[in-house]
A and B are shown apart, each in its own frame.
Chain A
Amino acid sequence: MATIAAPTRMMGAPIKRREDPRLIQGLSHYVDDIKLVGTLHCAFLRSDYAHAVINSIDTSAAKELPGVVTVITADDLGEVGGIPCGAEIPDLKVPDHPPLAVGRVRFVGEPVAAVVATEAYIARDALDLIEVDYEELPAITDLDKAVEADSPLIYDDFGDNIGFTMPLEAGDVDAALAEADHVVSQRFVNQRLIPNAMETRGVLAEYLPGEGTLTVWSSTQVPHILKTQLSLIVNVPEQKVRVIAPEVGGGFGSKLNVYPEEVVVSHLAIQLCKPVKWTEKRTENFTTTIHGRDQVNYVDVAVNNDGTITGIRARILADLGASYQLLTTLIPTLTNLMIVGCYKIPNVQIEMVGVLTNKMATDAYRGAGRPEATYIIERMVDLAASTVGMDPKDIRFKNFPQPAEFPLEIPTGIIYDSGNYQESFNKALDIVDYDALRNQQAQLRQEGRYLGIGISTYAEICGMGPSIAMPAGGWESSTVRVEPTGKITVLTGVSPHGQGQETTFAQMVADEFGVDIDDVIVVHGDTGRQPYGIGTFGSRATAVGGTAMVIAAGEVKEKMAKFAAHILEANPDDLVFADGNILVEGSPDQSVAFAEVALEAHVAKNLPPDTTPGLEATHFFEPSNFTYPFGAHIAVVEVDANTGEIEIQRYVCVDDVGNIINPLLVAGQVHGGIAQGLGQALYEGAVYDESGQLLTGSFMDYAVPKATQVPHFETDHTVTPSPVNPMGVKGVGEAGTIGSTPCMVNAVVDALSPFGVKDIEMPLTPNRVWQAIQDAKG
């Protein structure tokens, strides 16, 4: 076989994105920008109550409004199926999840009826004309109360509000806690967050009765999974369903799903034989697109006087919401897996309880289960340090595994692929000049000023993942085709929505073939064009999808080398691909243009022996393991003890995400990730009142960070390649979010340690910070 080592030109280069020209000129097409002739518009009537019996629904007045085409309720859905729960867990109680409420509503915003009209404004007018007779039931919104024996029930036949209990046990935690010098205990609330991608969801569906084909444009991260599910739910054969994820304006996990609106709009398009469109309002996005986090953690850690942490025990209540979306039940399992973070802790015991409440379902939100785990362990490590009187830096070094120990099996049953936690942490400490900062802190305290230095060293699980661990398979696909003109088309099963793989994937393929990057295009997000794929989530696109592509490109290249060797009368093993040519290594005059070989392979007049025409290969890549990025974040804050206000003075992070394809894009992912993590620490939180009303249902009440609310980030890297894929990449989409939240809280608690403050519940609003100081003062 040809060993065709192309000189690396694009890998590692900070080139600007090829997606951008259309985006910066307003020329791209998100779902709502796609206009089909004769499109009808859909709007959803949603429950105003968190928990109520539906006695009756009267749609007659709405149907009479001029311009209204139809109004449907659950009774009109016929054979349409329910919303799938994608993650089975032993003894999981799975409630029915009809696309429109049947008999009872269980969260505010649950869709009850759908209107279709000739204009979007008329559809919304008609919602006001639908009369629903509700009989309100008690709402269950508090996690601790929901699991009490006398709690009202969300599903009467379940007997309690517990969807599942998932224990995890390794070693002997009871002994560890009994024998340790200290046991540190703490309750944490990891508050509910609302993802808020800037583009809300949207669906446009068109059914052509002659062909029997259903085409659905949806703002989704998983077009292939959506295609399969829609086929099953609305009963159209899968080969006649096409799902297109056009330009997608962010997702952060919130579009990794199969939603009722996708089902209902598709059903309506089939029934009406006309295109039907629904564009989500921001208010709907707040109430009915999945939420994230929402756990209460009761944690005990065993620590000895020398700082060695010997065990961790956690009882975790995870709020699932009122019904399951695709991965609602999977997310808490990731918290279990990552509970020990980047430390060697031999004894682990977790009781994870998934709890049903009258709220929107939780599901994957950037980090998805790992920020919760990282928050637990990084906060507990700081509390343990303070208990034994150690610097939070030293206790971390004390418990890190050594680089030579990787691959490292940890007690929760997973194997960390590679790591050098000391290196990234040392680099971060050097950047901030840690010892000088501690001196400065001591001096300022003399002056009554409260500087805080927060550390978070994290490891996370991504590059998802081996199929054995993934509900819908964890592989990824790619087709690489060299066209007759020598242009290269890459089809990928991943579905980027801001990550920039049109650029990074083109970089890799341009390198592989030694061609100009402008000769490569990357096509994604259309089940009618790509081989079946899994999608973009879990920081997997490059590690898994990129690997599929590189392997497919290698296969095409090998075949192309045979054609070139035939033309040049050379040995394929002696050829190199460079600068748009294929040449004999060491004999640059023995050369043929890349495009000429491409044409020869297609006109096929002079085939090499045993070679078929065409230059195309498809590869389905199954990863052998997850990847495990890691890093160290350090925040420096000053807290005004009189007002509770926090000033972020520095934010430094040294992430190790394996090899880097495009540092510009990696920096962008890290910045955005940290902003979301700091958002949780400082500003964001979904608040439901006792009756189950969402009090934070707009940007007035839910604080997505603004430009003035995030600091300048100082980013750096160490590089520990992953052995799991040939590129040595790990994944960077979620690392910033995972590392940053505990870092910021640790910084503020550190600042207030002279008052004896041990913990403050997120988000750390000035009021909460001030109150924590007052409480600590007594």
Chain B
Amino acid sequence: MAKKVIHTTINGEAHTHEVEPRMLLVHYIRDVVGLTGSHVGCETSLCGACTVTVNGQAVKSCTMLAVQADGAEITTIEGLAQNGDLHPIQEGFWERHGLQCGFCTPGMIMAAHQLLARNPNPTEDEIRHGLEGNLCRCTGYQHIVEAVQYAAEKMQG
């Protein structure tokens, strides 16, 4: 299959690669760029484990093609901590035991990131609805809700 050249900026770093047009963005991020923090849980955009930010929008990277991200600014879970400091959402997940096996966690954190950008002070109900596109099989979600509440409080300073 004829490959296409794409340029991306991922977590502030510029990349140029030749990829097959059919390659999924999540496979590009994981297998070409080598950032394996975004996980593949279903390949049908239902579980959200692959959630990343593309030009500021949370996207399930298993249902977007890498070529569609040509020219895009992408943030993955690896790009959230700054200068060795955890992002408040990451901190919240740690403090409130918002994860067990950790597989859904990167996507869950990226979805929470978008949720708090849109609604800095969400109610419990709004958090649950905001994370509806992300499945977790371990936690029963209660500690995830608390993690997002922790982050919301901290981010409001």
Chain A residues at the B interface, C-beta cutoff of 8 Å: 16-17, 19-21, 23-30, 32-33, 35, 120-121, 196-200, 247-250, 252, 279, 281-282, 497-500, 664-665, 667-669, 671-676, 698-700, 704, 706-708, 710, 712-713, 736
- Asked whether, in the complex, the Cβ of A704 is within 8 Å of the Cβ of B137, the reply is yes
- Shortest B128–chain A CB gap in Å is 4
| Contact pick for A674, options B42, B97, B140, CB 8 Å | B140
B153 interfacial contact with A, CB 8 Å:
no
B14 interfacial contact with A, CB 8 Å:
no
- Asked whether, in the complex, the Cβ of A668 is within 8 Å of the Cβ of B143, the reply is yes
| Contact pick for A121, options B20, B39, B86, B145, CB 8 Å | B20
**Which residues of chain B have C-beta atoms less than 8 A from A32's C-beta?**
30, 36, 40
The A-contacting residues of B in range 40-87, CB under 8 angstroms, are 40-44, 46-47, 49, 76-78, 80-81, 86
The A-contacting residues of B in range 123-142, CB under 8 angstroms, are 124, 127-129, 131-132, 134-142
Chain B residues at the A interface, C-beta cutoff of 8 Å: 20, 22-23, 27, 30-31, 34-44, 46-47, 49, 76-78, 80-81, 86, 90, 93-95, 97, 99-106, 109, 124, 127-129, 131-132, 134-145
**Which residues of chain A have C-beta atoms less than 8 A from B77's C-beta?**
24-26
- Asked whether, in the complex, the Cβ of A499 is within 8 Å of the Cβ of B97, the reply is no
- Asked whether, in the complex, the Cβ of B95 is within 8 Å of the Cβ of A200, the reply is no
| Contact pick for B137, options A252, A281, A667, A707, CB 8 Å | A252
**Which residues of chain B have C-beta atoms less than 8 A from A671's C-beta?**
139-143
| Contact pick for A199, options B34, B39, B46, CB 8 Å | B39
- Asked whether, in the complex, the Cβ of B101 is within 8 Å of the Cβ of A33, the reply is no
- Shortest B32–chain A CB gap in Å is 11
- Asked whether, in the complex, the Cβ of A198 is within 8 Å of the Cβ of B97, the reply is no
Given pairs A24-B102, A25-B37, 19 additional interface contacts (CB within 8 A): A17-B94, A20-B93, A26-B78, A29-B36, A33-B30, A121-B23, A198-B137, A249-B103, A252-B137, A279-B40, A281-B43, A668-B97, A668-B140, A668-B143, A675-B139, A699-B44, A706-B135, A707-B136, A707-B141
11 contacts between A and B (CB under 8 A): A20-B94, A23-B102, A24-B94, A24-B105, A199-B41, A279-B40, A282-B42, A500-B100, A699-B47, A707-B136, A708-B132
| Contact pick for A698, options B44, B99, B104, CB 8 Å | B44
- Asked whether, in the complex, the Cβ of A667 is within 8 Å of the Cβ of B135, the reply is no
- Asked whether, in the complex, the Cβ of B41 is within 8 Å of the Cβ of A23, the reply is no
> In the complex, A252→B139 CA distance in Å?
12
**Which residues of chain B have C-beta atoms less than 8 A from A20's C-beta?**
93-94, 99, 102
- Asked whether, in the complex, the Cβ of B136 is within 8 Å of the Cβ of A198, the reply is yes
**Which residues of chain B have C-beta atoms less than 8 A from A713's C-beta?**
140, 142
For B34, the closest partner residue in chain A by CB is A35
For B44, the closest partner residue in chain A by CB is A698
**Which residues of chain A have C-beta atoms less than 8 A from B43's C-beta?**
281-282
Asked, given contacts A16-B97, A672-B137, whether A25 binds B41 with beta carbons under 8 Å apart, the answer is no
- Asked whether, in the complex, the Cβ of A248 is within 8 Å of the Cβ of B101, the reply is yes
- Shortest A36–chain B CB gap in Å is 13
**Which residues of chain A have C-beta atoms less than 8 A from B138's C-beta?**
198, 250, 498, 668, 672
| Contact pick for A25, options B27, B49, B86, CB 8 Å | B86
**Which residues of chain A have C-beta atoms less than 8 A from B104's C-beta?**
198
> In the complex, A249→B142 CA distance in Å?
19
Q: Does more than half of chain B's interface fall in helix, strand or loop, or is it mixed?
A: loop
- Asked whether, in the complex, the Cβ of A21 is within 8 Å of the Cβ of B102, the reply is no
- Asked whether, in the complex, the Cβ of A250 is within 8 Å of the Cβ of B42, the reply is no
Interface centre among A17, A196, A199, A707 (most CB of B within 10 A): A707
**Which residues of chain B have C-beta atoms less than 8 A from A674's C-beta?**
140
> In the complex, A249→B36 CA distance in Å?
14
Closest 3 CB pairs of A and B: A26-B37, A249-B103, A498-B101
**Which residues of chain B have C-beta atoms less than 8 A from A282's C-beta?**
41-44, 47
| Contact pick for B35, options A19, A26, A281, A707, CB 8 Å | A26
| Contact pick for B103, options A199, A279, A698, CB 8 Å | A199
**Which residues of chain B have C-beta atoms less than 8 A from A668's C-beta?**
97, 100, 138-140, 143
- Shortest A316–chain B CB gap in Å is 27
- Asked whether, in the complex, the Cβ of B144 is within 8 Å of the Cβ of A707, the reply is yes
**Which residues of chain A have C-beta atoms less than 8 A from B95's C-beta?**
16
- Asked whether, in the complex, the Cβ of B94 is within 8 Å of the Cβ of A198, the reply is no
- Asked whether, in the complex, the Cβ of B90 is within 8 Å of the Cβ of A24, the reply is yes
For A498, the closest partner residue in chain B by CB is B101
- Asked whether, in the complex, the Cβ of A19 is within 8 Å of the Cβ of B36, the reply is no
| Contact pick for A250, options B27, B76, B103, B132, CB 8 Å | B103
> In the complex, A68→B103 CA distance in Å?
31
**Which residues of chain B have C-beta atoms less than 8 A from A706's C-beta?**
132, 135
**Which residues of chain B have C-beta atoms less than 8 A from A33's C-beta?**
30, 36
- Shortest A633–chain B CB gap in Å is 13
- Asked whether, in the complex, the Cβ of B132 is within 8 Å of the Cβ of A707, the reply is yes
Asked, given contacts A282-B42, A668-B143, A707-B144, whether A28 binds B137 with beta carbons under 8 Å apart, the answer is no
**Which residues of chain B have C-beta atoms less than 8 A from A24's C-beta?**
77, 86, 90, 93-94, 99, 102, 105-106, 109
> In the complex, A704→B133 CA distance in Å?
12
- Asked whether, in the complex, the Cβ of A675 is within 8 Å of the Cβ of B140, the reply is yes
- Asked whether, in the complex, the Cβ of B127 is within 8 Å of the Cβ of A707, the reply is yes
- Asked whether, in the complex, the Cβ of B78 is within 8 Å of the Cβ of A27, the reply is yes
> In the complex, A25→B94 CA distance in Å?
11
| Contact pick for A249, options B34, B101, B109, CB 8 Å | B101
| Contact pick for B100, options A29, A30, A35, A498, CB 8 Å | A498
- Asked whether, in the complex, the Cβ of A707 is within 8 Å of the Cβ of B101, the reply is no
**Which residues of chain A have C-beta atoms less than 8 A from B86's C-beta?**
21, 24-25
- Shortest B100–chain A CB gap in Å is 4
For A27, the closest partner residue in chain B by CB is B37
- Asked whether, in the complex, the Cβ of B131 is within 8 Å of the Cβ of A198, the reply is no
> In the complex, A667→B31 CA distance in Å?
36
**Which residues of chain A have C-beta atoms less than 8 A from B128's C-beta?**
707-708
| Contact pick for A26, options B38, B46, B131, CB 8 Å | B38
- Asked whether, in the complex, the Cβ of A198 is within 8 Å of the Cβ of B143, the reply is no
- Shortest B89–chain A CB gap in Å is 9
- Asked whether, in the complex, the Cβ of A17 is within 8 Å of the Cβ of B37, the reply is no
- Asked whether, in the complex, the Cβ of B46 is within 8 Å of the Cβ of A707, the reply is no
For B124, the closest partner residue in chain A by CB is A712
> In the complex, A200→B62 CA distance in Å?
15
**Which residues of chain A have C-beta atoms less than 8 A from B78's C-beta?**
25-27
> In the complex, A282→B99 CA distance in Å?
21
**Which residues of chain A have C-beta atoms less than 8 A from B135's C-beta?**
198, 699, 704, 706
- Asked whether, in the complex, the Cβ of B137 is within 8 Å of the Cβ of A196, the reply is yes
> In the complex, A673→B42 CA distance in Å?
22
Asked, given contacts A25-B81, A30-B103, whether A667 binds B143 with beta carbons under 8 Å apart, the answer is yes
Asked, given contacts A24-B90, A712-B124, whether A707 binds B131 with beta carbons under 8 Å apart, the answer is yes
Interface centre among B23, B80, B97, B99 (most CB of A within 10 A): B97
**Which residues of chain A have C-beta atoms less than 8 A from B127's C-beta?**
707
**Which residues of chain B have C-beta atoms less than 8 A from A16's C-beta?**
94-95, 97
- Asked whether, in the complex, the Cβ of B38 is within 8 Å of the Cβ of A698, the reply is no
**Which residues of chain B have C-beta atoms less than 8 A from A26's C-beta?**
35-38, 76-78, 106
**Which residues of chain B have C-beta atoms less than 8 A from A279's C-beta?**
40
Interface centre among A26, A29, A249, A250 (most CB of B within 10 A): A26
> In the complex, A308→B20 CA distance in Å?
71
- Asked whether, in the complex, the Cβ of A17 is within 8 Å of the Cβ of B132, the reply is no
> In the complex, A426→B39 CA distance in Å?
44
- Shortest A276–chain B CB gap in Å is 16
- Asked whether, in the complex, the Cβ of A198 is within 8 Å of the Cβ of B22, the reply is no
> In the complex, A372→B35 CA distance in Å?
42
> In the complex, A500→B46 CA distance in Å?
27
> In the complex, A196→B101 CA distance in Å?
13
> In the complex, A124→B35 CA distance in Å?
23
**Which residues of chain A have C-beta atoms less than 8 A from B23's C-beta?**
121
- Asked whether, in the complex, the Cβ of A698 is within 8 Å of the Cβ of B46, the reply is yes
**Which residues of chain A have C-beta atoms less than 8 A from B132's C-beta?**
706-708
Asked, given contacts A24-B90, A30-B103, whether A198 binds B142 with beta carbons under 8 Å apart, the answer is no
> In the complex, A19→B145 CA distance in Å?
20
> In the complex, A648→B135 CA distance in Å?
20
**Which residues of chain B have C-beta atoms less than 8 A from A199's C-beta?**
39, 41, 101, 103
Asked, given contacts A26-B36, A498-B138, whether A198 binds B144 with beta carbons under 8 Å apart, the answer is no
